Amino acid sequence: DIVMTQTPLSSPVTLGQPASISCRSSQSLVHSDGNTYLSWLQQRPGQPPRLLIYKISNRFSGVPDRFSGSGAGTDFTLKISRVEAEDVGLYYCVQAAQFPWTFGQGTKVEIK
């Protein structure tokens, strides 16, 4: 199974300041079709997860442009350019390159 490792596990951020989360996979997420199936999910407290980013850097419908994704191969990053109060919650990377799909441990974004 592909192991997904996120850092940091906790990220206290000042409102209006940027935040960055790293995700590393134990093997390349490049699929045989040439695409890299790495997504990011947000889970606000008490809510189901919500898709933010897919295929490394594509924002899902309705996601604010302060969220961006980057990376390649085995190293990926989610950035929030200016954290807002509604961004508090857990963030997960997830790989869909092969079954079983696997998630990172989650990174908690909180306001300082």
Residues that bind other proteins in the complex, under the rule CB under 8 A = 31, 35, 37, 39, 41, 43, 48-51, 54-55, 58, 60, 90, 92, 94, 96, 99-106
Q: CB of residue 87 vs other proteins: minimum separation in angstroms?
A: 18
Q: Which two tokens stand for residue 62?
A: 């309705």
Whether 10 and 105 have beta carbons less than 8 Å apart is answered as no
**Residue 69: Cβ within 10 Å count:** 22
Nearest approach in angstroms of CB 26 to other proteins is: 16
Q: Nearer Cβ to other proteins, position 57 or 81? A: 57
The residue (of 39 and 74) whose beta carbon lies closer to other proteins is 39
Cβ of residue 25: shortest distance to other proteins, in angstroms? Answer: 14
* Residue whose CB is less far from other proteins, 1 or 14: 1
Q: Please, which residues bridge with residue 11 across strands?
A: 109
**What is the amino acid identity at position 106?**
G
Beta strands in 8-74 (DSSP E): 10-13, 19-25, 38-43, 50-54, 58-59, 67-72
